[in-house]
Chain A
Amino acid sequence: MTNVLIGFFTATLITSLFTNRLFRLYFWYGINSLILGLIGVVMGKIYNLNELVIMGIVTIVVKFLIIPLVLKKITFRFKISRDITPIIKIQYLTILVPVVLVFTYYLITPVLKTFQTHPNFVAISISALFLSLLLIMEHKRMIAKVMGFLFIENALFLLGIVSTNGMPMLIELGIFFDLMLFILIINLLLKYQGE
């Protein structure tokens, strides 16, 4: 089950790299977060960790339901253009994505036996970080860059789950609180100055 979910997690992230409309990017972010939350719940059940299950549910509520909605509202409210054509051409992206994936597998090779979960998961979460950075680099529009940062947050959460079976609860909550502050700051910036 986790294998399938991790596969979909990567697939949605890669799809977002090729997206050129803002709402579609929100959609893929939502799906990506939903899968992430499910991974948390499933792994929490497997290892009998209630904290992980709770964090998975919170992820689904906050990142799948609330954040995309808030972002959509912000887009309407401040009349943000929805065209986010990437500045990196698709043919280059199709080369870059596998390179990143292979590189992260290579990076993780020396510690394959360290993890309780499948080591591929750790490699995927590191590659998710690099792919999210690529998402930030490939867009000129600020709102798309902000989405890149939100994808990085997902990569961080995934790494937290697969490499350590979840971070301590207090830290996870701190991260969520920071995410909320991040959204608040974006709202303030857009309100007082626009994109």
Chain B
Amino acid sequence: MGFLLLPPVLVFVLSYFKINRTFMAVVSSTIAFGVIYVFTHPFMNEYFFVDKLGGFVLAISSIVAVAIFVSMISLPERIKLDEKSIRRFYRFFAVFWIGIIISILSNNMGLYWVGLEFATLSTVYMIKVKVSKEANIEAWRYLIVGAIAISLILFGIILIYASSKNILGDYAMNFYALMHNTQKINDYLFELGFLFVIVGMFIKMGFFPMNLWLADIERASVYQVGALFSGILESAIILGFFRFASIEKNINYSHLIGIGYTHILITLFIVSFLIYRAKDFVRLFSLSGIEHMGLIALFWISGGYFAALLHFASHAFMKPALFISSGILEQNKKYLFKGALKNINKFTALIISAFFLGVISLPPSPMFFSEIYGFKAMVDVARDSNYFILMLVGIFGVLILLSIIFYKFVHIYQDMLYNGDEKEKKVYTSEILAVLILFISTALLLLPQSFEFIKGIVK
């Protein structure tokens, strides 16, 4: 465990000295040792545990974190920042990373929350690192909305704790203990707590009715913040959702399906039309992130664990890559899709295109496979339920909404490639390297061995 916290602690300490950004990237990459160690030495105690699921999420978020560190080498060239701001950015990134690691590996619901709160609060300053009026407003907004969301999660956690404290004592805080004692839990109180928890999580992920707050924040801040949100923060949140939903599934599956399907369907409905009207890359990617989070949650609650995890991993790699690429794509103008891919070297254009089309599940993207498996799981659930027709209509509705998103992305891609003027664009090596790391990681997901491993995480 200490191994894992060493790189962020080092980054935190080094942020007080003159920053060498390349060295910071090298320091961050040492997380690989910790991840490998944790993977090979699973452990469990009262506060932390590493199961296959936690290890998987940790590995993915660590790869994304390293890629973001690499992309930050060229951050001052892309956005005007003074030395002091860069130092603070690194400092808060380190705190954020510590929070995420604690959150991902926690066996204790309270500790999970503490890590998440750490990560949330430290992001506030990272948003405002860009000197602009919008960034200032969004930093405040993030502080308030993020804090409310996280408070709702804690409120739910306390109720869940109360639901089983009489039986499990202090172990009522443990995910592991709860998962293995679902029969003894006070159903009503647990479900009340679960409701608070998922409302908080859905707010954090930008679900209905908070669809635009994340998009606005990511638009106002530096590109790396968007990458950080979609690749790391949302990983920790969705992991929590996986764990809580697994318990709820054993308590009252029909409630989980009812609440989950209804809420996600409404979210997808709104998000698809917001994507249709999106006018810039960052908002487009951010809204697409909400869509994918919705799909992951939908696959998980439908019992399509493999699909949910594959979708989650591919999204966690692809979306940060797209956010980092936004710096390259938006050089014409912020609100101009046309010609964004023109006058960029072929290799860069190819990788960005692969991500752009991969994120709408065009084969051979891993998302293509995850969606096939995911929809199969959804149909299976519908077949076994008493509301077969209703659920089938819901699934069909999701497919229609996805096709709207697909159409918009293809349309924008054609604009990027064939329309608009050719203008000179700068592409920095660090950005390409970061995107390449994520590209290779995404490609590795397509290996049969990766499929086998993901299938083995939750059986």
B148 & A174 in contact (Cβ 8 Å cutoff): no
- Return the contact of A110 from the options B147, B151, B188 (Cβ within 8 A): B188
Residues of chain A within 8 A of B344, CB atoms compared: none
A134-175 Cβ-contact flags toward B at 8 Å (1 or 0): 001000001001100100110110011001100110110011
Does A185 interact with chain B (Cβ within 8 Å)?
yes
B154-177 Cβ-contact flags toward A at 8 Å (1 or 0): 110011011101100010110000
A160 & B148 in contact (Cβ 8 Å cutoff): no
- Return the contact of A178 from the options B121, B148, B165 (Cβ within 8 A): B121
Q: Using a Cβ–Cβ cut-off of 8 Å, how many residues does chain A contribute to the interface with B?
A: 40
Interface residues in chain B, defined as those with a beta carbon under 8 Å from any beta carbon in chain A: 47, 108, 110-111, 113-114, 117-118, 121-122, 124-125, 128, 136, 139-140, 143-144, 147-148, 151, 154-155, 158-159, 161-163, 165-166, 170, 172-173, 186, 188-189, 192
A193 & B139 in contact (Cβ 8 Å cutoff): yes
Residues of chain A within 8 A of B165, CB atoms compared: 164
Interface residues in chain A, defined as those with a beta carbon under 8 Å from any beta carbon in chain B: 107, 110-111, 114-115, 122, 126, 129, 133, 136, 142, 145-146, 149, 152-153, 155-156, 159-160, 163-164, 167-168, 170-171, 174-175, 177-178, 181-182, 185-186, 188-189, 192-195
Nearest CB to that of A167 among chain B residues?
B110
B143 & A185 in contact (Cβ 8 Å cutoff): yes
B111 & A164 in contact (Cβ 8 Å cutoff): no
- Return the contact of A171 from the options B114, B121, B144, B151 (Cβ within 8 A): B114
A163 & B159 in contact (Cβ 8 Å cutoff): yes
Residues of chain B within 8 A of A160, CB atoms compared: 158
What 14 new A-B contacts, CB under 8 Å, besides A164-B161, A174-B111, A189-B128? Answer: A111-B186, A136-B148, A145-B144, A146-B143, A156-B155, A159-B155, A163-B162, A164-B158, A177-B114, A181-B121, A182-B147, A185-B143, A189-B125, A189-B143
**How many A-B contacts if CB must be within 8 Å?**
104
User: Known contacts A114-B186, A164-B162, A181-B121: does B151 contact A152 (CB below 8 Å)?
Assistant: yes
Residues of chain B within 8 A of A168, CB atoms compared: 108, 110, 170, 173
B125 & A163 in contact (Cβ 8 Å cutoff): no
Cα A175 to Cα B155 in complex, Å, equals: 12
Cα A152 to Cα B155 in complex, Å, equals: 9
B151 & A149 in contact (Cβ 8 Å cutoff): yes
Residues of chain B within 8 A of A107, CB atoms compared: 192
A115 & B162 in contact (Cβ 8 Å cutoff): yes
